[in-house]
């Protein structure tokens, strides 16, 4: 496994140092049974966010809990290319408009997600499209989309998931084949900056805490893009946490990420209790898995709180309540007995909620 780059290991200690404590004290955190969770946004000196979709805007219970707990909203699907881009390089921003309007009408800050993702857009941006046309349409899509919400969206995930799955280099995709491995990223950041100079522009990635090799590759990529002049303004760590990663590993990544001096967004937090893959069944009790879950989420919240104030962009969960999670929903992984978020179906606090609240209160 490749070691962390020396440039990251030699950086000065932060003004608010992040300890490498295991944070397992959070395993004992317990919420008050039966009571609604206290609004998390009231405990945090930075935006608390969750994702939302258009169909949820019509659910009064979701709206009530969203406004109770959150100060920021990320569209979960409505700004992805599969929804916004149509054949012939035409656009449909109607779903995105509705989510942004809901947020504006209810005093929520909006985080845009996502402009360029390796997993989408190839059905229109095909390899056989002439390179000049490809580049012109690429620029037009980003400038049109970001410009549509100029001064309405606090930040954008400009490039989503550019690092190879195992962290060994960068992903090959239709964007890199047409515009170059670093070229497509630089171009996207430049177009987004021109369209909205005040938005914070993020590189967003997953498994950064789970896989140290991937985290190191990701941070080296940001350093490289900055040296090439790309206006990267923030670090997005999705934080789909593996609850079995070693204690201290989350804190170590956050320390190295913070050393770049950019705002950091915990952008898609969830923490499934069930393991992926076809391995042996998990024979641990629910209590044992809850303890691991609470310890890792508590560690993440403490590491985020230890950042300098100017680097705490937002703390966002991927879904609001357990029933809203892509891991639980029928159109997602359909794990009906999963509990990967801070709130249960009724808006009561799950055990990890207390760990987060304790960390935010110091």
**Which residues carry out catalysis?**
161, 268
Q: Which residues of 250-269 are buried (b: 16+ CB within 10 A; e: fewer)?
A: bbbbbbbbbbbebbbbbbbb
What is each CA distance from 267 to 92, 182, 237, 258, 316, in whole angstroms? 25, 23, 6, 15, 5
What are the residues facing 269 on neighbouring strands? 317
Of 196, 117, 211, nearest to 160 by C-alpha is 117
Residue carrying the six token digits 């498994």: 207
Of 179, 97, 170, 171, nearest to 138 by C-alpha is 179
Give yes or no for a contact between 243 and 269, defined as CB atoms under 8 angstroms apart: no
Query: 4, exposed or middle or buried, with CB in 10 Å at 0-12, 13-18, 19+?
Result: middle
What is each CA distance from 292 to 25, 38, 40, 272, in whole angstroms? 11, 23, 22, 11
CB atoms within 10 A of CB 271: 23
């Amino acid at each position: 496994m490749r070691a962390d780059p020396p440039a990251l290991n030699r950086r000065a200690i932060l003004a608010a140092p992040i300890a490498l404590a295991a944070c397992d004290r959070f395993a004992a955190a317990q919420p008050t049974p039966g009571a609604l969770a206290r609004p998390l946004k009231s405990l945090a000196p930075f935006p608390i966010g969750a994702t939302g979709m258009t169909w949820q805007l019509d659910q009064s219970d979701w709206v009530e809990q969203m406004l109770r707990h959150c100060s920021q909203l990320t569209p979960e699907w409505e700004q992805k290319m599969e929804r916004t881009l149509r054949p012939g390089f035409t656009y449909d921003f109607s779903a995105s408009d509705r989510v942004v309007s809901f947020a504006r009408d209810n005093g929520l800050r909006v985080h845009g997600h996502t402009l360029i993702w390796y997993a989408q857009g190839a059905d229109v941006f095909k390899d056989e499209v002439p390179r000049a046309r490809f580049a012109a349409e690429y620029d037009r899509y980003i400038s049109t989309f970001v410009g549509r919400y100029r001064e309405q969206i606090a930040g954008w995930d400009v490039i989503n998931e550019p690092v190879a799955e195992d962290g060994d280099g960068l992903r090959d995709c239709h964007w890199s084949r047409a515009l170059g491995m670093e070229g497509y990223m630089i171009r996207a950041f430049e177009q987004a900056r021109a369209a909205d100079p005040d938005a914070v522009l993020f590189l967003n990635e997953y498994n950064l805490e789970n896989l140290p090799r991937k985290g190191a590759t990701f941070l080296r990529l940001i350093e490289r893009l900055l040296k090439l002049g790309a206006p990267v303004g923030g670090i997005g760590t999705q934080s789909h946490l593996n609850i079995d990663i070693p204690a201290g590993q989350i804190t170590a990544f956050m320390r190295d990420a913070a050393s770049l001096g950019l705002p950091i967004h915990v952008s898609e937090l969830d923490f499934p209790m069930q393991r992926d893959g076809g391995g042996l069944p998990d024979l641990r009790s629910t209590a044992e898995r809850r303890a691991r879950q609470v310890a890792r989420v508590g560690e993440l919240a403490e590491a985020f709180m230890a950042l300098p104030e100017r680097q705490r962009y937002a703390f966002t969960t991927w879904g609001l309540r357990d029933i809203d999670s892509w891991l639980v929903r029928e159109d997602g992984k359909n794990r009906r007995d999963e509990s990967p978020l801070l709130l249960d179906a009724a808006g009561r606090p799950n055990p990890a909620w207390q760990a987060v609240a304790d960390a935010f209160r110091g």
